Structure 1
Amino acid sequence: MEIDHIHFYVEDAARQRDWLIEKMGFQSISHQINHQTHTEMVTNNHVNFIISSPLSFSSPVARYLKSHPPGVADIAFRIENLSSFLEKAKCTNQQILQPTIIAQLTNGQVKSAKIRGWGSLNHTLIDQSSSRIFSYSKMIPKTNIVGIDHVVLNVPKNQFYLAVNWYKTLFGLQTNQSFKIETKRSGLSSEALIDASKKIQFNINQPSSNNSQIQEFLEKNNGSGIQHIGLQTTNILQTVAQMRQHGLQFLPIPLTYYQKLKQSAKKLKVEIFSQLEWEKIQTEQILVCWPQYEPQLILMQIFTKPIFDQPTFFFEFIERRNQAKGFGEGNFQALFEAIETEQIKRKYHIDHDQENFKQQGIVKI
């Protein structure tokens, strides 16, 4: 089992395509326009995105955007035996949105179906024997991105265990790690799921307080949804520097984080970074984590700021040195705090604007 592609529903597919090309080094594959929907296909070294926007009120994208901000509408999985999977889905009363169809492409056939996922998320299912929808033969990668590392689904507190069990039962995912992250202000719980082949890492978050950033996401998104996609890179320092030059914005990390990080590194018996690397890590504001007894297994991560108008969806870049596995709790905590800081800034600006309106005698609808 593996992720074939991820489908975004947005206001303007061409504009989002251009943004991904300019900011993140994606390359255009093809496009399709009918009377309802405009669709673009882009790729970045095995990271495949489909982007759709509505051309009429009858478009499924228009219906989605009526209830949700732009974001991920479908995560497509390649599975070993589509027919067998659909039989299992029927036996467990899953909602099958599209029965099996066979599409003829220039490079072969694609056998697929679609089921309702959690909340408004759908899952296109592609039989593993099918031809690839995305072709890379003529593509020369422009970045160090090598694939999708993980995706993260946010769900309400009362749905957390239901959602976790749903993905375990239907897709055979298993718990790899569990987290509880807290600050003085808020918190979250997270279950990191993984499939048997270890090609898919699917994390599920729930808020542990009413003012949690996860709760803010759920309110802005009008329900459950994909919070972020983690993209794996072979050189995060180079990737982030390149994307900053192209205008991609990342969450800022305080200087105190790096002071503490260097103090922790001094306690190790081995040197994990050169002086130049330390400087670049701090300059690019990368988060770093390693196991106490295996410091060579280094996780390096960074989050972008939300890419749409609403503070919902964002990207993560992650480098796993020496095949580091899982997710570092130290990085998770620091990333949570960085997002919380941005959340507090947003709330300050909203409250500040409302106060100005009151002073001017303006009622904002």
Structure 2
Amino acid sequence: MASAKNPLGLLGIEFTEFSTPDLEFMHKVFIDFGFSKLKKTKNKDISYYKQNDIHFLLNNERSGFSAEFAKTHGPAICSMGWRVEDAPFAFEGAVARGAKPADDANKDHPYPAIYGIGDSLIYFIDIFGEEKNIYQNDFVDLEQPVITEEKGFIEIDHLTNNVYQGTMEFWADFYKDIFGFTEVRYFDIKGAKTALISYALRSPDGSFCIPINEGKGSEKNQIDEYLKEYDGPGVQHLAFRSRDIIASLDAMAGSSIQTLDIIPEYYETIFDKLPQVTEDRERIRHHQILIDGDDDGYLLQIFTKNLFGPIFIEIIQRKNNQGFGEGNFTALFESIERDQQRRGVL
């Protein structure tokens, strides 16, 4: 039920929609990650991909909101569908709290929506679950579906936004004031040459988080590089939660997905810091998985290189730990800086 802490009755993420000038490449990446292409919308060229409780839409319309979004940003996450108890109630409540409504003429889907980060859309979806959902109502089965063996990804753990310097508080207030998100972490991260600050928020139902990143100082930091290439604020990365990160990465061997390189010295001390890790240490080294934790638990995580323009994917496995890998920030940040140096940015 909607409440003071959850004023719109938010219940999680239903779908993530991608727009792109290069449909074939994005399709291949989805397949490499273990998503199956199953359906398309009845009246538009929008395909549906699924893996457990992760639902992707790939929009190939040549006109309309998604097409214009791709012209501005290149490959992008142009919209998301968020689960709510009552879509009209959530939409009206969001507008009353200051959100900008999306007109029907500016939408590719028949669900109430508001504008979110970087003028992407947030749709409100109140039909979801295995027994009844929008994919049964508004999509049709493909005559030739592309069935792929899943890679063990079960849900979206979090999605990270990148914003211009000086606007992080504005976007944090957007999520807090309209949806009831709460602050869970604040980070001030420094690499060898660049820096950023990050403000992590948790949804009022507790199902997902949104960290917001803002660069510091040099405009060559990774956040401002994203903003320049993407031409504005937006979703920097999605994090897939895995049942077993080593098994997921083993299953993706030989695919097109490339992950960030971690210096070998990282593994000289990490297992002394976290002796409770039960996973095979040689496989962790082989895949260059990062580990972080405390006395109560730990997490394992890995990051791809940029996949869709400046957007990348994180894979995370949680073992009684709800952090974001704070202990890995320096190693990760410096790995990204090395990648920037290879690409001539730094």
Asked if these proteins are the same fold (TM beyond 0.5), I'd say yes
The answer to whether the aligner puts 1:8 opposite 2:18 as a matched pair is yes
Aligned to 2:94: 89
Q: What letter is aligned with 1:261?
A: I
Does 1:304 find its partner at 2:314? no
Structure with bigger gyration radius: 1
1:132 paired to 2:127: no
The answer on whether the counterparts of 2:94 and 2:179 sit within 8 Å (CA) in structure 1 is no
Matched, 1:203 2:203: no
Q: Deviations over 1:248-277 (max 9, x none)?
A: 211111101111213434xx5xx4336xx1
Matched, 1:158 2:151: no
Name the aligned partner's letter for residue 9 of structure 1.
S
Q: Pick from 267, 272, 284 the counterpart of residue 258 of structure 1.
A: 267
Distance 2:193 2:61 in 1: 39
**How far apart, in 2, do the equivalents of 1:140 and 1:247 lie?**
15
* Partner residue in 1 for 2:256: 247
Distance 2:95 2:152 in 1: 41
Supply the AA of the counterpart residue of 2:16: I
| Correspondence for 1:146 | 154
- Compared with structure 1, are the counterparts of its residues 80 and 33 closer, same or farther at alpha carbon in structure 2 (3 Å cutoff)? closer
- Give the alignment's TM-score, normalised by structure 1: 0.81
**Aligned equivalent of 1:28, options 10, 15, 37:** 37
Q: How does 1:44-193 map to 2 (within 5 A)?
A: 44-55=51-62, 58-98=63-103, 112-127=111-126, 131-134=132-135, 142-193=150-201
Q: Is the 8 A contact 2:186 2:200 kept in 1?
A: yes
Which of 212, 224, 246 is the matching residue for 1:215? 224
- In the alignment, structure 2 segments of 5+ residues that lack a partner are 1-10, 137-144
Q: Is 1:337 matched up with 2:342?
A: no
Letter in 1 for 2:122: H
Determine if contact 2:99/2:178 at 8 Å carries over to the other structure.
Answer: no
Residue 319 in structure 1 maps to residue 317 in structure 2: yes
Name the SS for the 1:66 alignment partner: helix
Q: For 1:332 and 1:287, locate their aligned partners in 2 and report how far apart those are by CA, in whole Å.
A: 10
Q: Using the alignment, how far apart are the partners of 2:37 and 2:71 within structure 1?
A: 27
For the Cα contact (< 8 Å) 1:176–1:326, is it kept in 2? no
Task: Please give the per-residue CA displacement for 1:58-98, whole angstroms capped at 9, x wherever unaligned.
Answer: 33333112211211011210112323322323323422114
Corresponding residue SS for 2:331: helix
Give the whole-Å Cα distance in 2 for the aligned partners of 1:15 and 1:220.
Answer: 18
Percent identity of equivalent pairs:
27
* Distance in 1 between residues matched to 2:96 and 2:160, nearest whole Å: 27
Whether the aligned pair in 2 keeps the contact of 1:14 and 1:40 (CA below 8 Å) is no
Q: 1:134 to 1:180 in 2, by over 3 A?
A: farther
Query: Does structure 2 retain, via aligned residues, the 8 Å contact 1:29–1:134?
Result: no
Indicate the RMSD between aligned Cα atoms, in angstroms.
Answer: 2.7
Find the residue that maps to 1:199 and give its secondary structure: coil
User: In the alignment, which residue of structure 2 is the partner of 1:280?
Assistant: 283
User: Is the helix fraction higher in 1 or 2?
Assistant: 1
Which is further off, 140-149 or 170-179? 140-149
Instruction: Give the Å deviation of 1:158.
Output: 1.7
Aligned-partner Cα distance in 2 for 1:129–1:280: 37
For 1:248 and 1:19, the matched residues in 2 are separated by 7
Match of residue 7 from structure 2: none
Q: Secondary structure, in 3 states, of the residue corresponding to 2:247?
A: helix
Q: C-alpha separation between the residues in 2 aligned to 1:221 and 1:2?
A: 26
8 A contact 2:35–2:148 mirrored in 1: no
Aligned length: 323
How far off is 1:245 after superposition? Answer: 2.5
Q: In 1, are the aligned partners of 2:271 and 2:277 still within 8 Å (CA)? A: no
Give the match's secondary structure for 2:305.
coil
**TM-score, scaled relative to structure 2:** 0.86
1:316 maps to a residue whose letter is E
- Matched residue, 1:357: none
| Aligned residues of 1:304 and 1:315 also touching (Cα < 8 A) | yes
Distance 1:95 1:196, change over 3 A: closer
